[in-house]
Structure 1
Amino acid sequence: MNTKTYLLFLLLICSLLTAKAQDLDDLKGNWYTRDGSNELQLMIAEDYALYKAGIWEIVGFENGKLKLNNLDSETELTLKRDGNTVELKADGVSIVLQNFKSKNIADRTVGTTDVSNDFFKKDQVVLQGVFIAKDTMPLTISIIYNHAFSEGQKKFVEEVGEDGRFKVIFPLANPQPIMVSVGDAFFYYLSTPGAKQAMVIDEASFGGGWTTVKKIDFMGDLAVENEEFRVLQPEYMKIRNYTESDSLQKALEPDAYMDYRLKLWQSHHRFYENYFDSIPTSAFIQDYSLRDVRTYAADDLRRYIWLHNQDRSGGRIVPVDVSDEYLDKVVSLMPDEIGDLMTDHYPYLTREFTMPMMPRENKVIHDLKLDYVYDFLSNKAVSEGNRLTVNQWREKELERENTYGSLSFVGDMKPIFEANKEEILDIQKKVNWDHLINKVSGLSAVQRSSIIATYLDMNFATRGIQVPDYIQAKLEDLDLVPSVLDGINQNIADFEILKNARFVQGVEIAEASGNILSELKSKYKGKVVYIDVWATWCGPCIGEFVNMKRIKESKLEDVVYVYLCAQSDKKSFDIMVKKHELTGDNYFLDDKQYQKFDLEVGISGFPTYMVITKDGKLVREGIKRPSAGEELVKQLQGFASRN
């Protein structure tokens, strides 16, 4: 081959390579459905793609075929671009996408997701995506949401990669709005138990407040509904009148504020009805929106009780009384419908009911506590001096103002209180409980259930205190929603396990080091290590524990079992390990340890099973679950037979 021919050959090769590179470059970007729903179907970046609500590594591109891998599986997409559209073929299905969002939404296709069976369904949400930073890439992304049956918010924090990629796995019991905070971006989106979702967040669009539409793309479960929500919410925020309502909450008398707030609710309701008449909107978004403005009104009316005097008292909480008619109106805004649990304001409203706030309410509670404690101390064998002290204390307590429902034990009463502290505290808890039961007796089953569950969480579970017998004996008679009652009883049973099961034969709680995989490879060199990565809130994880017991009964030679618990509460971990007798090494990974572990192995959800072979290699693909039974036994025997 002469020099000229050789150079022409090299030029041809370079041209072909350049053409292929340009072909892939031409496909980079975001590709959406063309039916007006603007659902993100595919995003192609430099070395990865977002597809089917997951992040995939690009392993090859040739002749219009894009090969992807995400640790768990491989897939191939056939792509053919034509102007602003691309034809995508995968798994025998062809769809034409466009690289822009449709601006005309008057004829859009709406979401069809039915979440009616997703309530009280404990499961995980897997959220993946890409953050496009306007400047410096943030280190973390936070997922925050309210829980209808507990005291505070739930929060999960994960790292954001240098290229903006992120993944968060978190538990969810009901469909509901989720807060996302990353960099300057802060917004709500909607999720449901078991959802697999993805999003692309453009930080530069988060500068105009709540009334501007943000640049967020959605993929996976509820993607179409979330796109509807993204466009709808800024319009609602324009007429929400939050500042005016907040000011009038502090300025108007109770009945005047109630009249104002009910009219505002009706205004919000009309806005949504008019919007839904003019813009196609899914049944889910319509239902959620109308429920949310109603529970928002009820919550504002309850919040009035403790917010009204806040400015006058220098920021201190000084509650006010409202009439029974006022309270009845609040209750009328809370029908017996499970669907209300998915609204943003329902958890706040529930917590408002659990706490006695009004002065007249606290006066009743205080006087009952005083009567019961006084009777208790009067019947005790005390000296004449102490009896006189108790009588004087009672007179002072009857005259004391602003008690907030609590008794005061100071001066000469302090040693008497300390000597009888446990009994006195029990008496006061009993009064609080009796008052709550009387308070919720006229409410619906859904309202009553959420209030009781929240009260028990606030006053016992989060404080590590056992639920008293008199409460346990009453629960069955309260006509609670069965799934809520089951959850309460389970929490009580779990507390008993933690309290009594100090040691379980064969269960080892180990301290995790900086690199858990390196530690396991070193500790069990020459052994096959079967690893179960789980979370305390993961139903499928817990369901596999009984199957694992059967696997262990096979007594496989050179096989050890290790449990790695992550994204969980440490106290719940301690309970679960003892409750399910997880014999073997048990490690609890804190957030930093889990993030490091996840970066190394790529957890796509819970449970995840993997094996470390005798020669220290990590195998993820194809590892059987314990429920596979004999198949897993044979698989582990196969690993053990290799030297």
Structure 2
Amino acid sequence: MKKIFSILVALLMNCGVFSQKTIDKPDYGLSNLPGKLTKIELTDSATIIHFYIKYQPGQWIQVPKDTYIQDINGGVKYLATQTEGIPFGERYTMPETGEANYKVFFPKLKNGIDKIDFGEGNNNPNNWSVYDIVLNEKDVESLLPKVLQGNWFQTDGSNQWDYGFYANQAVVDKAVWNYKTVSQKKNNYSIVLERNGNLKTVYVQIDKKGAVKIGDNKEKLAVYSKEKTENPNYKLANDEIFSSNIFKSDSATFSGFIKGYTARAGRKTGKVYVSNALTGSQDTYIVEIANDGSFKVQFPINHPMSVFVQIPGANSTVFVEPGKETFQLIDVDAVLFMGDCAGINTDLKALEKAESYKDYQKLRKTILEMSPEAFKQACLEIKEKQLQELDVISQKQFVSQKALQIKKLDIEFLAFAQILTYQTYRQIAQSDKAANKVATSDEDYKIEASYYDFITKSMLNNEAVVIANNFSYFASNLANVEALNEHPVLPSFRTMSDMAKTLQDNGIVLTNEELEMIGAFGKLEKGNLRLLDFNTTNKTKIADFNNNHKEAYEALQKNKLQNDISVGDFAAYLKTQGVSLTAEEKELVSNYKLIQLSKEELVVKKAFEQKYAKKPEEFGKKYMKDIQNIISGLYSNKSYNKMKEVYGLKETFLIDAMLLQQKARMLENNFTPYTESELQTIQKNIKHPFLSNYIVFENDKLKARLEANKSKTGFAVNTVQKATGDELFNSMIAKFKGKVIYVDFWATWCGPCKSGIKEIAPLKEEMKSKDVVFLYITGQSSPEKTWSNSIPDIKGEHYRVSEDEWKYLTKKFNVTGIPHYVLVNKKGEVVNPELGHHSNEGLKKILEKQM
């Protein structure tokens, strides 16, 4: 009877009656979920995946309609059918807790599927995906016994991670290894690892009490555990904070291993973003990922610092030091470190929860109800609360002095930076209220210099502050504090004579020919000043005149292909159209005629133009950089002197750092090296030895780039053919017909533009044999010399258009800010006038779709 019953049960199971299966805490590989899979249910009618998501409160998440699961070997995609816990196919706003639990239902899977991938429809790399989700546990073919698999930590309280033994790979000594052989004698194991032809043997011993000892020397094995050991009394050798002698230029190495990496994810690269506190710039370095999930990249830095890493499975900060290597394990269940900076990174991860930006976000919601002093006090209280949390964590477990120093500085500078934002965020809140037509009776506060008394002399003179993530944020805000800045009296630039005098007053020698031209131009300046004064005095009347006849004004702009139309030209055009003017408009036109050049002035003007032609324009371009430097110097000297006066300082590290940032930024924006005399002046003003020499380093680096650019190819300079109206853009792209065109409106001074250009460079190289053109358009705001120096680094087709051409093009494509991208198909038709920013993977798909 029992036998018959067993057979019946087996038959029922085969028929699916007993096919219910629940997998708690399922295993899976590479994932970019901001959370985890908590459970999978396999029923006779559905596959149900349970999600736990931790995300920014107030932000939205969504389960798209084309969410799917699929056998890792390919085949049919099983589309989601419904959700529980959040809406299906609609945006769900995360609650204050920042946590959400929900289920996604899919059809029942066919028999024989052991692993699946989860994804969201359109292959956008920003969409959530999970790979190698295990449905049927099978004994994975591995040379290594299960008892040895896992991450092994020292048990002395340091929790140093030395060994990662997984089913098919091992991580030892900052490298990924394969198993060659594993031999066992009772509870003693010899593991031979192989990597690029090199062999390494690791010995493991398990004693009678279950203690595990590991090492590469049989006679000197150390005790390890898969569990971390909390020992707040652990003592680290040379446990000291970073000293003031912190600067050193060298390369940092960031390497690691993505556990569970698969090429199916379609991501073979990552990025490391390095913010340079000395220049205020950010450099991006590409991380190439090997097929086994390992990676390694080197980049130059000047001091210990945190960098931001964006790599499959991780978006986080990592602490690095010059001349040292940091190795990171990226895993669903653990973030672990090896190498020179392992201890600091491990400790910083433990301290992360002490620092929170959310408290400040919450505080800003009531900023209209707070006086400056109340806001400052609230920020300082948040800072003290977070510092106390830091102490609590460090009392429960060992934390190195360096990690404590870094996190303490981060917490302090975050608070100080927030205090400096009071006026900015108050104005934003007032604007939001006005936009929503909410009545406001907010009291206006004047911020006195005493508001900034939290800034101390020691803070301004401590060069170790550069290790803090939030230092640059604080310094940037400090540079814009109105109470600590004074506006200088700027020289007049109403005439060429004014410009020449300013240049000479600042030690710039003009040529005899230039002085002669300036003298001749002086005879024309009275007439030019009359026009300038007329436009200034009648600014409102001119604007009303143009707006009263808006359609006609825009038609004339389009016809003349220029944005600025004079009162006289516009009045003459209206007359041809039979338009009558009001009495006020007639008076305006009459006054305009009165300021026109006399016959004698016209004769002088004609003679001047015949002799000097475009030389005045060339004079302006030649000395534009000098004028910018003079104005910048006036502002910075006045501001920094005011800051020194407020704090009673003669020399400060922070002011030197801010001055260096300003000069380095000008160097990058102008893309023109400083002369020797300019360098000497800058170095004289920057007292800190390392910072003073660093501007020379940056200048030499730019010289080397410009020299290398002379032999570069792959870029082409184009000239706009004479065209008006809609013909302008068509004439610019006519030669590229038959190819997809990616148009980038940019400028040499635009940081986001240059970052985007640098980011897209690998994609251009990848698609260089395809029918696609990368077209770059800039205007007169990009100085010609800066532009010509820059474009050899930018492969593609280039235009530098006139001011009127730029205004027409930006109006045509509704360019309200740059960078701005436009997509044109192979027929020369604009298919997307506002393409927006996309990752390289996403943009590649967009371009290929048009081919």
Identity of aligned residues (%): 14
Q: Distance in 2 between matches of 1:151 and 1:315?
A: 33
Higher relative contact order (CA 8 A, sep 6+): 1
- Report if aligned partners of 1:449, 1:484 keep a CA contact under 8 Å in 2: yes
- Report if aligned partners of 2:193, 2:199 keep a CA contact under 8 Å in 1: yes
- Report if aligned partners of 1:377, 1:390 keep a CA contact under 8 Å in 2: no
1:190 to 319, 339, 361: 319
- Report if aligned partners of 2:144, 2:167 keep a CA contact under 8 Å in 1: no
Question: What's 1:430 paired with?
Answer: 630
After TM superposition, give the deviation of residue 32 of structure 1 in Å: 1.0
Pairing 1:323–2:448 present? yes
Pairing 1:40–2:156 present? no
Where 2:390 maps in the other structure, the secondary structure is helix
Question: What's 2:345 paired with?
Answer: 226
Question: What's 1:298 paired with?
Answer: 416
Deviation string for 1:70-113 (max 9, x for gaps)? 44854322222347643223257723343422253444455756
Equivalences for residues 451-490 of structure 1 within 5 A: 451-467=658-674, 471-490=678-697
Q: Distance in 2 between matches of 1:466 and 1:477?
A: 17
Q: Distance in 1 between matches of 2:668 and 2:348?
A: 35
Structure 2 alignment gaps of length 5 or more: 1-138, 435-443, 502-517, 540-562, 568-613, 715-753, 755-759, 767-851
Between the two proteins, the alignment pairs up a number of residues equal to: 469
Letter in 2 for 1:385: G
Where 1:143 maps in the other structure, the secondary structure is strand
After TM superposition, give the deviation of residue 340 of structure 1 in Å: 0.5
Where 1:477 maps in the other structure, the secondary structure is helix
Where 1:440 maps in the other structure, the secondary structure is helix
Question: What's 1:129 paired with?
Answer: 257
Q: Distance in 2 between matches of 1:147 and 1:320?
A: 35
Alpha carbons of structure 1 residues 486 and 95: separation in structure 2 relative to 1, 3 Å = farther
Question: What's 1:54 paired with?
Answer: 175
- Report if aligned partners of 1:132, 1:201 keep a CA contact under 8 Å in 2: no
Alpha carbons of structure 1 residues 227 and 476: separation in structure 2 relative to 1, 3 Å = closer
Question: What's 2:698 paired with?
Answer: 491
* Larger Rg over CA atoms: 2
After TM superposition, give the deviation of residue 33 of structure 1 in Å: 0.8
Alpha carbons of structure 1 residues 466 and 108: separation in structure 2 relative to 1, 3 Å = same
After TM superposition, give the deviation of residue 259 of structure 1 in Å: 2.7
Q: Distance in 2 between matches of 1:510 and 1:91?
A: 55
Pairing 1:95–2:214 present? no
Question: What's 1:65 paired with?
Answer: 190
Question: What's 1:337 paired with?
Answer: 462
Moved more, 177-186 or 370-379: 370-379
Question: What's 1:556 paired with?
Answer: none
Deviation string for 1:170-190 (max 9, x for gaps)? 333221223233346333332
Q: Distance in 1 between matches of 2:409 and 2:484?
A: 31
After TM superposition, give the deviation of residue 481 of structure 1 in Å: 2.0
Equivalences for residues 366-381 of structure 1 within 5 A: 368-370=490-492, 376=498, 380=518, 381=521
1:155 to 263, 284, 293: 284
Pairing 1:172–2:301 present? yes
Question: What's 2:528 paired with?
Answer: 386
Alpha carbons of structure 1 residues 44 and 270: separation in structure 2 relative to 1, 3 Å = closer
Q: Distance in 2 between matches of 1:273 and 1:46?
A: 39
- Report if aligned partners of 2:305, 2:320 keep a CA contact under 8 Å in 1: yes
Alpha carbons of structure 1 residues 113 and 168: separation in structure 2 relative to 1, 3 Å = farther
State the superposition RMSD in angstroms.
4.4
Alpha carbons of structure 1 residues 378 and 468: separation in structure 2 relative to 1, 3 Å = closer
Moved more, 180-189 or 428-437: 180-189
Letter in 2 for 1:351: S
Alpha carbons of structure 1 residues 217 and 474: separation in structure 2 relative to 1, 3 Å = same
TM-score between the two structures when normalised by the length of structure 1: 0.62
Alpha carbons of structure 1 residues 158 and 119: separation in structure 2 relative to 1, 3 Å = same
Where 1:334 maps in the other structure, the secondary structure is helix
Q: Distance in 2 between matches of 1:297 and 1:453?
A: 24
Moved more, 385-394 or 432-441: 385-394
Alpha carbons of structure 1 residues 492 and 266: separation in structure 2 relative to 1, 3 Å = same
Letter in 1 for 2:461: D
Deviation string for 1:334-361 (max 9, x for gaps)? 331121000001122233345x574995
Alpha carbons of structure 1 residues 104 and 310: separation in structure 2 relative to 1, 3 Å = same
Q: Distance in 1 between matches of 2:538 and 2:197?
A: 70
After TM superposition, give the deviation of residue 376 of structure 1 in Å: 0.9
Q: Distance in 2 between matches of 1:119 and 1:315?
A: 47
Equivalences for residues 207-218 of structure 1 within 5 A: 215-218=334-337
- Report if aligned partners of 1:50, 1:56 keep a CA contact under 8 Å in 2: yes
- Report if aligned partners of 2:159, 2:228 keep a CA contact under 8 Å in 1: yes
Deviation string for 1:595-618 (max 9, x for gaps)? 9xxxxxxxxxxxxxxxxxxxxxxx
TM-score between the two structures when normalised by the length of structure 2: 0.48
Where 1:368 maps in the other structure, the secondary structure is coil
Pairing 1:269–2:387 present? yes
Q: Distance in 2 between matches of 1:137 and 1:341?
A: 37
Alpha carbons of structure 1 residues 72 and 353: separation in structure 2 relative to 1, 3 Å = farther
Q: Distance in 2 between matches of 1:156 and 1:187?
A: 15
Q: Distance in 2 between matches of 1:372 and 1:438?
A: 23
Question: What's 2:427 paired with?
Answer: 309
Where 2:180 maps in the other structure, the secondary structure is strand
Alpha carbons of structure 1 residues 71 and 450: separation in structure 2 relative to 1, 3 Å = farther
- Report if aligned partners of 2:159, 2:229 keep a CA contact under 8 Å in 1: no
Equivalences for residues 271-290 of structure 1 within 5 A: 271-277=389-395, 279-290=397-408
- Report if aligned partners of 1:137, 1:162 keep a CA contact under 8 Å in 2: no
